[in-house]
Structure 1
Amino acid sequence: MGKKKVLVSYGVDIDAVAGWLGSYGGEDSTSDISRGLWAGTVGTQRLLKLFDKYNIKATWFIPGHTLDTFPEDCAAVRDAGHEIGLHGYSHENPADMTFAQQRDVLDKTYKQITAFCGGKPPRGSVAPWWETSKEGTELLLSYGIEYDHSMSHEDHQCYWLRTGDEWTKIDYSKTAVEWMKPLIRGTMTGLVEIPGSWYIDDLPPMMFIKGAANSHGWVNPRDVEQIWMDHFDYFYREYDEFVFPMTIHPDVSGRPHVVLMHERIIEHINKHEGVEWVTMEQMADDFKKNNTVPEGAMMPAPRGEILKLQKEGKAYSLVDYEGPMPK
């Protein structure tokens, strides 16, 4: 066994009300919206307390709707020194949006976060529902976004994101020859992908969603933590270097039984040599420092350049990004 280098990170998605508007089917339910209000306040504050207890800096991916609806709670995240990244406005599914809709959501939320963080543009993004699009990736690159945390080509290492893969769906109204074709790989980019895993995500097993047939919500957190710990222990046994990003939501992990689960997971991880708790931008920077960008890759624009181009009238800008124009 060689010297260990293990980068561990929490990615916190404050879905709150936005999650119910964009993904969970609760947009017409006062009960579900109420749960979103709880997540944006009580759940968020409990996670801040958890991270403070263990001296952990996390990356919080905050929808624009959450920033607008819970400014004081989001300010507490910022002021505690955590990183803030993109996560849509109302947790919209990029795969369901037009190019113009994706562009406008990105433009608004990019400017929101930049202003909220005192002029520091966001460096990373998580696609709501972990659904991405070719246009969305190209938009992220044009805005200078340097890493994404939505895909699963790897499970223990960061990698350079490829975009534009093509595959043929089965159509039983046609001959089999027409669908028996391999996946065609797309174009490499200079966007760092920090792998996401549905198996290391608190929401699928521990959040009750009325509109989802396979929704759980009452899973024993000790069963979930065992899965997470088994992932960590396997990686630690098999690899001298690996990353371990965990995806959580105040909507779930702010609940008492799940906060206690995280305390046990953190204490388990901290028993191992070579572990360093980092933000996801630090994780991405470490990968870039040690890996060469593929030749011919589509590269992110310089950080913050889009704002300069917009000011000069050389790039598209959503006119009413701070609210509807007066009639």
Structure 2
Amino acid sequence: MVKRVLVAYCVDVDACAGWLNTKDGQLANASDVSRGVFGANAGTDRMLKLFKDNNILASWYMPSHSILSFPTQMAKVRDAGHEIGLHGYTHEFVSRLTEDQERKVMAKSIKVYKEFTGKHPKGWVAPAWEISPRSMQILQAFGIEYDHSMMHHDCQPYYVSDMPPNTVHTDYSKDPDEWMIPMPKHTLTNVVEIPGSWNVDDWPPMHFSSRNPGTHGFINPRDIEVQWRDQFDFFYREYDSFVFTISCHPQVSGRSNIQLMHERLIAHLKSHEGVEFMTVAQICDEFKAGKIAGVTISAGV
């Protein structure tokens, strides 16, 4: 059977926003902020050249803070024809917001997006892939067609369900009979999920941060390249159709040695029959039109 493989580069332009949101209220480190400036400028320019050289349209997810703080640079992305999606206002962790805060951030982000692009956004990525139990319902209410934050599957699109707040809660202060229960039923939304994966993300292994113990920063990009290729090769062997999303950040993937890694990876992907590079918005359209199978996900009782 002929393979159909939809590959998407997903670029989070966190720039300085990710450093300003330090989670604990501490002032941002000026050196860290400078890394964000690099990402918005040199890193973005290098990623744009990489995609132009390889005839790829990517999906760029921009916090409103990045759009408003680096309008000339972000306009280069828009004017090159790439997709632009939502990524919060200042990379705030949605899981820590109240419902009112989450809705206000979404409304403000959409307003900035419309002023920048002239149209309504199609997709959203939760900053740090941290969603709240109500995020999918909020996306649906605001007319957002797809999400790229969930991980019910690693290579197949699907319609995503809401996430009840009491999905998993073991309260040791109570009698076990009160918490020895299955997950409640999840309700499907009309939001399409194009899944992400921490296993194909440049930030944790290749960007050092003294404030985040989950980052490394000194791993050889050639080792990461092998891991990413192996995942793709497994999917290619096991599935007739699948999606392969590559999550990256200009302040990481804009670095010289990581640029070379992407060049080699793209050549590997292009060497396989049936591979098409698309934006995530295009993948969403293909799934909704029934042109790529995807899966049905259920959870809870």
TM-score bracket relative to the smaller structure: over 0.9
Which residue does the alignment assign to 1:9?
Answer: 8
Structure 1 residues 33 and 223, CA gap change in structure 2 (3 angstroms): same
Which residue does the alignment assign to 2:33?
Answer: 33
CA contact (8 A) 1:65 1:89 kept: yes
Shift of 1:185: 2.6
The structure with the largest alpha-carbon Rg is: 1
> Could you say what secondary structure the match of 2:16 adopts?
helix
Which residue does the alignment assign to 1:134?
Answer: 133
Structure 1 residues 243 and 208, CA gap change in structure 2 (3 angstroms): same
Shift of 1:134: 3.2
Q: Deviations for 1:218-267, whole angstroms, at most 9, x for unmatched residues?
A: 10001111110001000001111111011110121001111111001000
TM-score (norm 2): 0.93
Distance 1:138 1:190 in 2: 9
CA contact (8 A) 2:158 2:295 kept: no
Which residue does the alignment assign to 2:173?
Answer: 173
Which residue does the alignment assign to 2:275?
Answer: 275
Distance 1:247 1:23 in 2: 21
CA contact (8 A) 2:156 2:294 kept: no
Structure 1 residues 152 and 292, CA gap change in structure 2 (3 angstroms): closer
Shift of 1:23: 5.0
More displaced stretch, 87-96 vs 98-107: 98-107
Which residue does the alignment assign to 1:51?
Answer: 51
Shift of 1:27: 4.1
Which residue does the alignment assign to 2:182?
Answer: 182
More displaced stretch, 180-189 vs 122-131: 180-189
Distance 2:222 2:33 in 1: 28
CA contact (8 A) 2:137 2:189 kept: no
Structure 1 residues 283 and 27, CA gap change in structure 2 (3 angstroms): farther
Query: Which amino acid letter does the alignment assign opposite residue 65 of structure 1?
Result: H
Q: Deviations for 1:66-116, whole angstroms, at most 9, x for unmatched residues?
A: 001110110000000000000001000111111221111111110111121
Runs of 4+ in 1 over 3 A off after TM superposition: 23-27, 291-294
Which residue does the alignment assign to 2:150?
Answer: 151
Distance 1:232 1:213 in 2: 28
Q: Say whether 1:113 aligns with 2:105.
A: no
Which residue does the alignment assign to 1:312?
Answer: none
Shift of 1:174: 2.6
Shift of 1:62: 0.3
Distance 1:79 1:292 in 2: 31
TM-score (norm 1): 0.86
Distance 2:35 2:256 in 1: 15
Which residue does the alignment assign to 1:200?
Answer: 200
Distance 1:11 1:255 in 2: 17
Q: Say whether 1:102 aligns with 2:102.
A: yes
Distance 2:183 2:198 in 1: 23
CA contact (8 A) 1:164 1:185 kept: no
Distance 1:292 1:152 in 2: 13
Distance 2:210 2:161 in 1: 35
> Could you say what secondary structure the match of 2:5 adopts?
strand
Q: Deviations for 1:131-165, whole angstroms, at most 9, x for unmatched residues?
A: 11233222211221000000000111000010033
Shift of 1:292: 11
Distance 1:213 1:75 in 2: 34
Distance 2:135 2:173 in 1: 31
Which residue does the alignment assign to 2:299?
Answer: none
Distance 1:5 1:155 in 2: 16
Query: Which amino acid letter does the alignment assign opposite residue 281 of structure 2?
Result: E
CA contact (8 A) 1:41 1:73 kept: yes
Q: Say whether 1:125 aligns with 2:120.
A: no
Structure 1 residues 27 and 11, CA gap change in structure 2 (3 angstroms): farther
Identity over aligned residues, as a percent? 50
Which residue does the alignment assign to 1:302?
Answer: none
Distance 1:265 1:292 in 2: 24
